């Protein structure tokens, strides 16, 4: 429609110019340029074709993905399957008086599998499945966004009718681009108009035909940006959390991504899953892929546990730094990292996975931990132990090398944040009190006391193991890396 209006206006301008005897050269040049752009963009300058992922189309079969191919998201899968069952078994839903869901919002951090869940939903249901991205609706021309929303829903209904289906499913990725709170954008009228059209379509007010029902599945990692009108019941009836996987979920994901990879007998995927705390599904896929690349680079036909350890450090910290520090700085880095490792191991045996002084990213060294479990809550004692481990690096430098360094700045910042958390959660000796209501001197006194207690505790642990730290630091300066088993063996042997 927009294209037709523009063509009509251009034709009228040309005819008027000819009638009054004006030069039509500029108008013809503009028209020729428009035709050229239209040809180069394949006719998609203002129109947008949306992808049909399933139904009876060949493209749907080529992209088939089942829920069994997705690990670590059992709750999200269960919620999504239940909603899709209303589509597959519509008669049962009608008999029970169930109002069909109109929208499902998949919310969670990046890389957790929201798009994969949508693709699996496409193969699970026999409904026509169309996909789009939030950015597909935003354009420089006024009114284009609302038009594309109408086209998307019209395409879904038409495709469903042509394939004999009574239901269509639309997936909108990154919906926060389209559905942000109205009035926030500088050009908010265009954004608001586009969102208003989406709300109307989800309510079914703009539907030309009532024989096709449309279910909208959307994904976002910023629910806080979405307009409240979009989140109310009757539009997005369910918000499904697609969170970071726990240890068991990480193990399931690793098994999926290593199913076709040759693993050595020394590879313990359960151990890798425990050490990959905080990894998303995308991180775990990258971890398995990087491990395979390292094995191939080394000329081996199987992937070893060493490949997984190296790959994990690469995924966490980035590529190795080519520039190597001098011997004095290397010893300081080794002493610093061993301070963290020794205190962590003493306070929580088995917590150290590896210690390295091979610089990666912005870090000159790194201690990789292997937590026993995924903690969602912390006690005061656990936070105090975390503070002790954080300050152990600079304490180790002072006790063994005579003075600290600027390499501990981030550790100190994190230790102070942890101490503030104790006060904020009412776990300090001051009890439950607001930071704003507490005298600043008293507040800083409590924070400093918590950090100082951690330093004293770390100093006691490190002083008792000074010789072991020096010996292991010399080993790290030569070999660059020490795995957790070797570290514990050296620590216990010399104790």
The secondary structure of 427-494 as a DSSP string is -STT-S--GGGS-HHHHHHHHHHHHHHHHHHHHHHHHTTHHHHHHHHHHHHHHSEEEHHHHHHHHHHH
Closest CA to 454 of 416, 428, 424: 416
Give the chain's domain count. Answer: 4
Q: Do residue 147 and residue 288 come from a single domain?
A: no
Res. 4: pLDDT tops 80: no
Among the residue ranges 17-21, 247-251, 295-299, 419-423, the one predicted with the least confidence is 17-21
Dump pLDDT digits (tens) for 31-44. 555 554 454 444 44
Contact 107, 239 (CB under 8 A): yes
**For the domain that residue 335 is a member of, what is the CATH number?**
1.20.58.760
Last residue of a domain, one of 317, 342, 359: 317
Can you give the pLDDT at residue 258? 93
> What residues contact 109, with CB distance under 8 A and at least 6 apart?
221, 243, 244, 280
pLDDT band at 369 (very low <50, low <70, confident <90, very high): confident
261 and 172 both lie in a single domain: no
Which residues have a catalytic role annotated?
337
Beta partners for residue 106, in sequence order: 219, 240
Q: How many other β-carbons are positioned within 10 Å of the β-carbon of residue 195?
A: 25
For residues 231 and 253, state if they share a domain: no
- Average pLDDT score over residue span 432-436: 85
* Segments forming the whole domain that contains residue 111: 51-241
Q: Are residues 277 and 421 in the same domain?
A: no
Q: What pLDDT is attached to residue 21?
A: 60
Q: Which residues pair with 165 in a beta bridge?
A: none
What is the mean predicted confidence (pLDDT) over 20-29?
58
Structure tokens at 1: 């429609």
Hey, is 216 helix, strand or coil? strand
- Please indicate, yes or no, if residue 463 is contained in any of the structural domains: yes
Residue 130 backbone phi and psi in degrees, to 5: -110, 145
Look at the chain and count its residues: 495
| Structural domain includes residue 441 | yes
pLDDT score at 18: 57
pLDDT tens by residue, 214-235: 889 999 988 888 888 888 888 8
What per-residue confidence (pLDDT) applies to 348? Answer: 92
Q: Please indicate whether residue 460 or residue 36 has the higher confidence score (pLDDT).
A: 460
Question: Coil, helix or strand for 191?
Answer: helix
In this predicted model, what pLDDT tens digit does every residue of 352-362 receive, in sequence order?
Answer: 988 998 888 77
Strand 238-241, strand 213-220: pairing: unpaired
Q: What is the pLDDT of residue 63?
A: 52
Domain annotation covers residue 271: yes
Q: Which of 190, 217, 241 is the last residue of a domain?
A: 241
Asked if the model's pLDDT at residue 45 lies above 50, the reply is: no
Is residue 449 pLDDT above 90, yes or no? Answer: yes
Do 80 and 18 lie in one domain? The reply is no
Which of 298, 317, 336 lies at the terminal end of a domain, its last residue?
317
Residues 104 and 196 occupy one common structural domain: yes
Instruction: Output the average pLDDT for the chain.
Output: 82
Domain assignment of residue 322, yes or no: no
Q: What's the whole-model pTM score?
A: 0.74
- CB burial of 263-280 (b: ≥16 within 10 Å; e: otherwise) equals beeebebeebbbbbbebb
Asked whether residue 204 is assigned to any structural domain, the reply reads yes
Cα separation, 481 vs 313, in Å, equals 11
């Amino acid at each position: 429609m927009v294209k037709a209006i523009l063509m009509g206006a251009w034709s009228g301008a040309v005819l008027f110019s000819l009638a009054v005897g004006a030069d039509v050269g500029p108008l013809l040049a503009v028209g020729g340029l428009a035709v050229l752009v239209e040809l180069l963009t394949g006719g998609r300058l203002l129109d947008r074709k949306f992808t049909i992922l399933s139904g009876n189309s060949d493209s749907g079969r080529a992209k088939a993905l089942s829920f069994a191919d997705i690990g670590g998201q059992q709750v999200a899968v269960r919620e999504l399957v239940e909603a899709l069952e209303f589509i597959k078994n519509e008669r049962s839903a009608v008999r029970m008086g169930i109002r069909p869901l109109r929208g499902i919002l998949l919310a969670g951090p990046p890389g957790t599998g929201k798009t994969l869940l949508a693709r699996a939903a496409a193969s699970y249901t026999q409904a026509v499945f169309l996909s789009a991205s939030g950015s597909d609706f935003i354009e420089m021309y006024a009114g284009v966004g609302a038009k594309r929303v109408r086209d998307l829903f019209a395409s879904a209904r038409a495709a469903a009718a042509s394939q004999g289906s009574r239901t269509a499913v639309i997936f909108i990725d990154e919906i926060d681009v389209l559905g942000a709170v109205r009035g926030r954008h500088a050009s908010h009228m265009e954004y608001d108009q586009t969102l208003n059209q989406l709300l109307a379509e989800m309510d079914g007010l703009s539907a030309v035909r009532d024989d096709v029902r449309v279910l909208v599945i959307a994904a976002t990692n910023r629910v806080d940006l979405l307009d409240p009108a979009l989140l109310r019941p009757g539009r997005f009836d369910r918000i499904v959390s697609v969170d970071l996987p726990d240890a068991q979920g990480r193990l399931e994901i690793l098994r999926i991504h290593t199913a076709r990879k040759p693993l050595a007998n020394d590879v313990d995927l359960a151990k890798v899953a425990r050490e990959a705390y905080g990894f998303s599904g995308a991180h775990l896929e990258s971890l398995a892929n990087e491990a395979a690349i390292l094995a191939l680079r080394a000329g081996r036909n199987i992937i070893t546990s060493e490949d997984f350890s190296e790959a994990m450090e690469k995924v966490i910290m980035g590529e190795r730094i080519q520039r190597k520090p001098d011997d004095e700085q290397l010893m300081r880095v080794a002493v610093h990292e061993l301070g963290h490792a020794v205190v962590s191991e003493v306070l929580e045996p088995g917590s150290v996975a590896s210690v390295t002084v091979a610089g990666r990213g912005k870090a000159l060294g790194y201690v990789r931990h292997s937590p026993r479990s995924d903690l969602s809550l912390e006690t005061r004692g656990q936070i105090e132990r975390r503070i002790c481990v954080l300050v152990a690096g600079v304490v180790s430098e002072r006790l063994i090398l005579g003075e600290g360094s600027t390499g501990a700045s981030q550790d100190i910042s994190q230790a102070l944040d942890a101490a503030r958390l104790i006060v904020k959660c009412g776990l300090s000796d001051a009890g439950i009190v607001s930071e704003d209501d507490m005298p600043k001197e008293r507040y800083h006194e409590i924070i400093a006391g918590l950090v100082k207690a951690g330093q004293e505790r770390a100093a006691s642990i490190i002083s008792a193991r000074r010789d072991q730290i020096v010996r292991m630091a010399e080993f790290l300066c030569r070999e660059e890396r020490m795995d957790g088993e070797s570290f514990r063996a050296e620590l216990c042997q010399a104790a």
